[in-house]
Chain A
């Protein structure tokens, strides 16, 4: 048997609260709530977990759970860490080292404003003494938006696209969010900027880093999530439906944006190539796409990289309605990092939505929330971390 489908995601759950909890939460609390929920969902006891994968917190979480995993991975390369964890878990299970892998996420992006971060991982970028930081720190860059804006400007220059074109990504993604009651931007009741929007709303929102207005940018929320991955014998013995890991790949083009060679390309080209080849599938086989949307430019550029659109035309998937409900390729059916939830790292939210749509659990509701948006049997998931730096791609397929 080959690597493809040698393990399956057998459950995916969130923390009890996500978004903007009334009582501030710690990152650890968000982790533990989600882990408990996925254990209940699958019937797999926490004591059966023998591999742990998290963005920077694996030893603390394993200790808190009182488990003694024999495979410990704490890869922390930004929002795509979780897709990369799935890749690593697949390899560890295929190699026979472990039977059950826990991939876990807890990040109090919102609560941290009141009680501090207390862990939660993040982008394992360079420190203050590194030469790359020395050569960028004097220039007033302020967080992710101040970097990603340069990429949209370059895309506009090369392909004649406009910021207004990318506003369509925000509008279509918001339409999906209005179908998801857990989405921060679900309605005007859940957020002052919530509910349906138009490209005009996006264009007229406060400017953050030209050409990115606030509504070109993702949310900052709390989120906990956990998935369990198991070898086929175990996956088939559970009451939950397996979602098979048909392909997985990871790659990186740079760490600091100073080293981004082509400002209109990402390593998703390489990571998706690895994943497609493992799966024996291609872009035309994908029936659902979950593409990391930290900013409107991110999923549009990623769509080009993973072969869902020609170079320079990624934004047209949204502008022409293909990514919307009823379109030929639904994209970001949960409402995305733009309008559903984005805790700083968004890769776990992608995994959970992929599991919900492919396993049929969205029909019954995970954590009580229904939201089956497609009948897709195949899904490409692509996470992006850092400053369009690192990517992880998964090709997931539903059980027969």
Chain B
């Protein structure tokens, strides 16, 4: 089945992230001066304003910060409603957006903020993979 949802266009700034996804790695930008990981990728560290930023391999683990159940959507997502969007607190720090896997959108009361999630990757186009997060524990 062809992937019919929005596919991001990598830029030179974000290419290392997409290169990592192809190899099954979640690469994250980390400032070499203050050592903090930030998300999304930037030209400058938003914490200390250093421009010495390097990519590290993330653990692919985190926890749900908050979530919502989408009942309206457009394009390819319209066929999948309801689905659960969420913001994930990465173990390395900072936060990622996602659509949660491994939950029942019809029972939002069973989805818990703070639950453990693990990343997985879905092929969206030639050379483009997208990270999604699956609930794996409490």
* A positions within 8 Å CB-CB of B: 128-129, 131-142, 145-146, 149-151, 153-154, 157, 206-212, 256-258, 263
In the complex formed, the residue of A with least CB distance to B128 is A138
How near does chain A come to B79, taking the closest CB pair, in angstroms? Answer: 11
A248 to B14, CA, bound (A): 39
B83 touches A140 (CB 8 A): yes
Contact flag A151-B66 (CB < 8 Å), given A138-B5, A138-B7: yes
Q: Which residues of B from 113 to 127 have beta carbons under 8 Å from A?
A: 113, 124
- Measured CB to CB, the closest approach of chain B to A125, in angstroms, equals 14
Question: Is B27 on the interface with A (CB-CB < 8 A)?
Answer: no
Pick from A134, A137, A212 the residue with the most CB of B within 10 Å: A134
> In the bound complex, how far is the Cα of B126 from the Cα of A35, in angstroms?
53
B80, A140: Cβ atoms under 8 Å? yes
Q: Which 9 A-B pairs have the closest CB atoms?
A: A149-B68, A140-B77, A210-B69, A154-B66, A134-B8, A135-B40, A131-B40, A207-B71, A157-B113
Task: Decide if A150 touches B66 in the complex (CB within 8 Å).
Answer: yes
Contact A139 B85 (CB under 8 A): yes
Chain A residues, Cβ within 8 Å of B2: none
From A153, A206, A207, give the contact of B113 (CB < 8 A): A153
Bound Cα distance from A149 to B68, whole angstroms: 6
Chain A residues near B113 (CB-CB < 8 A): 153-154, 157
Q: Give bound CA distance, A154 to B108, whole Å.
A: 13
Instruction: Beyond A134-B10, A145-B72, A153-B67, list 16 extra A-B contacts (CB 8 Å).
Output: A131-B14, A131-B41, A135-B14, A138-B130, A139-B99, A140-B99, A141-B70, A142-B70, A142-B72, A142-B73, A146-B68, A207-B69, A207-B82, A209-B68, A258-B39, A258-B95
Q: How far is the CA of A137 from the CA of B7 in the complex (A)?
A: 8
- Which B residues touch A146, using CB under 8 A? 68, 70, 72-73, 85
A209 with B8, Cβ < 8 A, contacts A131-B13, A258-B40 known = no
Tell me the complex Cα distance, A256–B6, Å: 17
Binary per-residue interface labels of chain B (39-80) against chain A in the complex, 1 for a CB within 8 Å, 0 otherwise: 111100000000000000000000001111111111001001
A209, B70: Cβ atoms under 8 Å? yes
B97 interfacial by beta-carbon distance below 8 Å: yes
- Is B96 an interface residue when CB atoms closer than 8 A count as contact? yes
Nearest residue, chain B, Cβ from A136: B97
B:1-46 near A, CB below 8 Å? 5-11, 13-14, 39-42
Taking CB atoms, residues of chain B closer than 8 Å to A154 are 65-66, 113
Question: From B10, which residue of chain A is reached at the shortest CB distance?
Answer: A134
A153 and B66 contact, CB distance less than 8 A: yes
Partner of A157, one of B7, B66, B71, B72: B66
Q: How far is the CA of A254 from the CA of B70 in the complex (A)?
A: 23
Kindly list chain B residues whose C-beta atoms are within 8 Å of the C-beta of A139.
85, 97-99
Assess whether B40 is in contact with A134, with CB atoms less than 8 Å apart: yes
Tell me if B11 and A263 are in contact (CB < 8 A).
Answer: no
CB distance from A386 to the nearest CB of B (A): 15
User: Contact: B124 with A138, CB < 8 Å?
Assistant: yes
Give the distance to chain B from A104, nearest Cβ to Cβ, in Å.
31
- CB-defined contacts of B85 to chain A, threshold 8 Å: 139-141, 146, 150
The residues of A that contact B68 with a CB separation of less than 8 Å are 146, 149-150, 153, 209-212
A129 touches B39 (CB 8 A): no
